[in-house]
Amino acid sequence: MNPRQVADYMFNQDYFSQWMNIKMIEVKENYCLIEMPIKKDMINGLKTVHGGVTFAFADSALAFSSNNTGDAAVALNCIINFTKAGKEGDVFRAESVLVNDTRKTAVYDIQITNQSQELIAKFVGTVYKIGKKVTDL
């Protein structure tokens, strides 16, 4: 399977990403660009996007980019910095780019922006390669 087919295979089993209404914009080896509309049920008590939603969105980008070669990887460590509050009606984009790759781990930089290309959050995720194929799990 090519990277897009692997990402689509994962997405079809990922009911949480489906609930978030994530759309795959572009998928290449160790890379993805995804999009998500901000819905009313993603808003917190301060009328901004709940931080957990933003984190989960970045985590989905990490999953689709770090597994799309067909070799399974799981999150080992993730750090997020929130730079701007999102609002209902926004459209978030997450771009995940491989920055370091070793035999057992890899590091990805993920930037989340809104429809005005303003930076919403910066996420760095480290994955552990578990030595199995995505399709075997």
CATH number at residue 21: 3.10.129.10
Which ranges constitute the DSSP H helices of the chain?
Answer: 3-13, 15-19, 51-66
What does the alpha-carbon distance between residue 66 and residue 61 come to, in Å, rounded to a whole number? 8
Q: What is the pLDDT of residue 34?
A: 98
Question: In 3D, which of 132, 137, 94, 134 has the Cα closest to residue 6?
Answer: 134
Contacts of 133 (CB under 8 A, 6+ apart): 70, 71, 72
Q: What is the pLDDT of residue 94?
A: 98
Query: Contact at 8 Å (CB) between 78 and 126?
Result: yes
Q: What are phi and psi of 25, to 5 degrees?
A: -90, -50
HSE-up (13 A, CA, CB side) for residue 3: 17
Q: What is the pLDDT of residue 9?
A: 98
pTM of model > 0.85: yes
Given a cut of 70, the residues of the chain with pLDDT beneath it are none
Q: Which two tokens stand for residue 42?
A: 């993603």
- The total number of structural domains in the chain stands at 1
Residues spanned by the domain of 27: 3-136
